[in-house]
Amino acid sequence: MKRIVLSAALFLIFLIAYSQDNTAIYLMKNNTENLAFNPANPVTHNYYINIPVLGNFSATGRMPFSYNNLFRTNDDNSLTVTPRNMYNVLKKNNVVSASVNDKIIGGGFRVNNTFFDIGLSFKTDFNMLIPKELVGLIVNGNAYYADKNETLVFDNMYVNLNSYVEFGVGVQQTFSDKLIVGIRPKFLLGLANVETRKLNATFYTSPEYDSIWVKEDILLKSSCLYDYINKNGIGKFFGNRGFAFDLGVTYKINDQFSIGASILDLGVIWWNSNDYEFKADGEVAFKGIELDLLQQNLSLQGELDSLAKILNIKTEEIPKYTTHTNSKVLLQGNYDINEIHRISASARLDFIETQQYPYFSVAYVCNPTRWFEVVANTYYYRQMFNLGTALGFSLGPFYLNMSVATLLSVNRLENVKAFSAGIGMSFVW
């Protein structure tokens, strides 16, 4: 029974989080959504209207292990959980991430040398940093570290969840054949947030295995439209307001070389709806809690409440707090071999909590005809190399783009640690 419950839970996490950032879809010349990559990217159309909800939908993220690292298929086709194998492939610090971006409605139009675009989008980003030995504490058991007389220290961990609705108005100005500048101010409506200001812990098991000493330093803030603590229903719908902007520039050096730079999602959200603070700062010693998954009336919430009480985690409702959006800084260079073939290289730095994550990509863009476009790219992001591609089709005024990553592993999905998929539909003319 325990194996079934654990397998089901981890398999659901696998399905939800197995995706990875892929920017190939934003490198296509005819795709108006490349404005999300840089608000100054040249737009080849005078007008566009997104198909509602499917204007630009993508899911991205990653896990530090694959399905085959955690499960083994037996000769009788049954599954066996292999957590030790999973633990062995982990790095010292491991990132788990997932995100969803859905452009609900959007459109744009040109007036002389100025292009305007308007969009309403739903965005959710989840990021978590997990030390390897924290997983080892679960997999190996505390007795393993007691025998080694080892004290485990976990610091700089974080959990970051940001979910909000974004309304943006972009303005792109063409100053000459060489210079384009774009800006997109955005109004944000926060839906849910979890942010760790501090998440540190120290564990020590006595050599007699009879007690565990824990020292914690935790400060976590959260906000949600639904009051999940006191069950008071929906809070202030417009209570979590924010502001952000994108800023970009592109410059054409000559007929073949062009460069671009942008700052994306630079802003803040003021959370003022069902705000709570979770805090623990002290030292405790306890002998654990009894958890029997075979009992009929298992109350997981009750066990979690008991653990929170033992660790002296205090929950307090707070009036409001402020968080920054996960911003990005991007540099891009393009070399047009001819009208059909292009080589593109980009470097990006993502800011999440107190961490910075570099992103590097090299891509090949091909426009063999006016109605077809293809991009193939390889990129490095968060300790992982990956391969992605994107396709674009123009069927009269109807434009369709699709993207996917991890093509090298599509025939062996059980070995995939990262995957990405996206789709966009619009009318352009």
In this structure, are residues 251 and 179 in contact, taking their beta carbons and an 8 Å threshold? yes
Which pLDDT value is given to residue 152? 82
Return the DSSP state at 306. H
* Positive/negative CA dihedral, 80, 81, 86, 87: negative
How far apart are the C-alpha atoms of 389 and 407, rounded to whole Å?
8
- Residue 413 sits in a domain of what CATH number? 2.40.160.40
Q: In Å, how far are 70, 239, 333 from 376, measured between CA atoms?
A: 31, 43, 16
**Domain range for residue 279?**
2-428
Domain total of the chain: 1
The structure tokens listed for 301 are 């919430």
pLDDT value for 120: 96
Q: pLDDT at position 234, please?
A: 72
Tokens of 185: 């101010």
Which residues of the chain are under the pLDDT cut of 50? Answer: 1-20, 290-300, 302-303, 407, 410
pLDDT digits (tens, 9 = 90+) for 263-317: 999 999 999 888 898 888 777 776 655 444 444 444 445 445 555 565 677 888 8
In this prediction, residue 231 carries a pLDDT of 72
- Please name which of 375, 350, 371, 374 lies closest in space to residue 363, comparing C-alpha atoms: 375
Q: Give the chain's radius of gyration (CA, Å).
A: 24
Q: Is 95 exposed, middle or buried (0-12, 13-18, 19+ CB in 10 A)?
A: buried
Going from the C-alpha of 143 to that of each of 86, 173, 208, 418, the distances in angstroms are: 20, 65, 9, 33
Q: CA 376, 379, 384 angle in degrees (round to 5)?
A: 135
In angstroms, the Cα distances linking 302 to 55, 288, 313, 316 are: 44, 14, 15, 19
- Percent of the chain's residues with pLDDT above 90: 33
Are the beta carbons of 32 and 38 closer than 8 angstroms?
A: no
* Residue 223 · residue 273 · CB < 8 Å: yes
